[in-house]
Structure 1
Amino acid sequence: MENLIMPTPYRLLDVKKVTDIEYLFRVEYPEAGNVKFGQFMQLSLPKVGECPISVTDFSATEGWVEFLIRKVGIVTDEIFNLHAGDLLPMRGPYGKGFDAIDIKNKNVVIVTGGSGLAPVRSLINHIYRNPEEVQSMELLFGFKDDSSILFRDEIINWRKKHPMVLTVDKGCGLDGECVGLVTEYVPHLKMVSDKFDDLEVVIVGPPNMMKYTAIEFEKLGVPAEKIWVSFERKMSCAIGKCGHCRIDEVYVCLEGPVFNYSQAKYLID
């Protein structure tokens, strides 16, 4: 009988500092072609534990996956002690990803708050490399301050091709142009109009950020069916057995983490 929770060790290829508290871990993963945008994997260490981490990018041709990890607990503390060449046991990928969204020939708006950029980075990079797949992409990122801005070099490249607003809660940000919450800038997005058939909105960030950002889009007339969110919750088993991620009758690890807002707005935890 197959053991569904048995991890497989994979070799750590690279560790790169992104901010003072977040590092990017690239892991050799020959099965990367099976990964979908927005999915997560369970990372584990023997005698320590395991934790769910979103796949922030992957390469099917080169055979690797990347994780943005913040040092916030027992498992992540130990992962930060690993170096290139060490083995990192993993299992997955799990969950419904952004492949649930039909982005073909659509205007795609992506709004993120803080580390919420990590789960959608692979989708953004895919559209950046394959712009012919969509009509257009517009980006709205919010960070606490300048020191918490993620993937600076990529952001600079993304904004060369796609309209972008980057805002910080306080300070001067990347270019010093925008201060405040992302909700303040939703009404000024170029793609928001009276016609929403070709629009898909993706929102990822803290729960309140996603809730109030979605409300701002609804105020503009965007139907809930055109809005997608990703629930970044603490999950334990990832296979729907432990119940830690359950909201009412919904198991986030199985039916999410990506949800259409028409369903997600009623998932109150």
Structure 2
Amino acid sequence: MQVFQNCSHFKRHSKICLKIIALRRGMGCEAGSLAPPVQRTATAGGRCDENMRPSLTAGRRDMVSFRNSDLNPAMRCLRIPFQQGAVFMNAKFFPWRALVVAWVCLGATGAAVASEATCPNLLQHRFDRLQDEKPQSLCQYSGRVVLVVNTASFCGFTSQYEGLEALNAKYQARGLVVLGFPSNDFGRQEPGSNQAIAEFCENTFGVKFPMFSKTSVVGPGTNPLYQQLAERTGERPQWNFHKYLIARDGKTVRSYGSRVEPKDPGLLKDIEKFLSTK
């Protein structure tokens, strides 16, 4: 039995596969690949294995087969693992079913993630969440006003955490989100681990806005988001708690120095302006 672990051959025979790839990329999955957990399987003779039938056995993963007579004979079987209790579809592999399958296999939750087609280029990045280091796509903030801040735990501006949390809580319902990026670039004022930073932020300031793993915001190791922000504004962070305000369109960006506090009238005016623009 021949098993194809990626989509390099399969995609030449089906637009459906290309749609799934596009959806995966929008979700931040590895480009050009459907596996794991998806595999295309066919017998050596090019016929689908007639024994590939969905079964449901408690405590194990099961496989579902789909057929598409329009595909190359060697690629007709698509096997996708499902968890127990999933709804099985074993009819012909129509495009709408392809999207459903992709959605289920990607482990989508109630929080929708914007695809590349609608996600601004500036937000097409993934960063590990601070608390558990699980990858997060910034595309989930597409259409919102985003305040990006590089933070540090032992800085003279660290007290701004309190104002940033208040800002996020006040305007969250209207579409603002504050994103924190801890960095040790300035004065080595963020030396701790991600876990230590997360505990400090929660225990000291009750921070609830999204924060990501420690990163570099200046220098050779600057992460791609901060590279783009610097290019858009012509300004790079000079110290901790520099702020970038991104409009809903993901194109308009304003820059504010570290001394600009979260309650600064000019910053608040710009936030109000960006929030009022749909």
Give the shorter-chain TM-score range. Answer: under 0.3
Q: Greater relative contact order (Cα 8 A, min sep 6): structure 1 or 2?
A: 1
User: Which protein has the bigger strand share?
Assistant: 1
**Could you state the TM-score of these two structures normalised by the residue count of structure 1?**
0.26
**Could you state the TM-score of these two structures normalised by the residue count of structure 2?**
0.26
Max Rg structure: 2
